[in-house]
Amino acid sequence: MTEPTGAAETSGTGTTSDEAVTDDFQLPGVPDAFQRLWTPHRMAYIKGGQEQYDHPDSCPFCVAPGRSDEQSLIVHRGKLCYVILNLYPYNPGHALICPYRHVSYYTDLTEEETAEFSALTQTTIRVLQKVSRPGGFNIGMNQGKVGGAGISEHLHQHVVPRWGGDGNFLPIIAQTKAITQTLGEVRELLAEGWPADDDGDVAGAAHTAAAGDL
């Protein structure tokens, strides 16, 4: 449902996104406490079909560890899981926690993978708090295509930093999301802010070599 508005919303082409309305007409709907994060870019994954990611050779999350951190936007490599930036971020610092193994559901993880998956999520939040001081976070995962997962064949958890006013008018009016830093700059900041006593990168290097042999 749409929220009440006093004017027609327009798309980038200048046409209204709903039927033409007058300034004194309110669209039907009841206001609620939710803010909307509009994500039209996700349609590229939906239209592309999930079957293209069935095999590890074609799965972005399986291919990424076989390249350099800079090329794949990897922030940290753990022993069983790794942290990577979202190529299409909702906000600067939008990170994904992924297992190296090609599994679809959270229940597919082993006990060891689950422990590291959780620990990396916590560390990612702490690093973001230290580096960019967000006002809050959205944390979660979509399970399966019907559940809204962009790439449902490989489990990944979103960690999205939030600031007051980050859901402003640009995504709605101009179909634009203002990102103040390049992905490379954000990756470098988070990688440099990662705890120095975390030795996961040593084991993660083995995954780089193994993935490169695929």
Span 120-134, pLDDT tens digits: 999 999 999 999 999
Whether residue 138 is annotated as binding a ligand: the answer is no
Return phi, psi of residue 49, to 5°: 85, 140
- List, for the chain, all residue ranges whose pLDDT scores fall below the cut of 70: 1-56, 167-180, 198-214
Identify the pLDDT of residue 182: 85
Identify the pLDDT of residue 103: 95
- Of the candidates 213, 211, 176, 200, the one whose C-alpha atom is nearest the C-alpha of residue 80 is 200
Identify the pLDDT of residue 7: 44
- Of the candidates 203, 186, 175, 176, the one whose C-alpha atom is nearest the C-alpha of residue 86 is 186
CB 53 within 8 A of CB 153: yes
Q: Cβ–Cβ contacts within 10 Å for residue 11, how many?
A: 12
Tell me which fold the domain 56-212 belongs to. Answer: HIT family, subunit A (3.30.428)
Burial 169-179 (b: 16+ CB within 10 A, else e): eebbeeeebee
Q: For the chain, which residues make up each domain, given as ranges?
A: 56-212
Whether residue 158 is annotated as binding a ligand: the answer is yes
Identify the pLDDT of residue 117: 98
- The C-alpha atoms of residue 209 and residue 67 are separated, in whole angstroms, by 9
Catalytic sites, residue numbers? 156
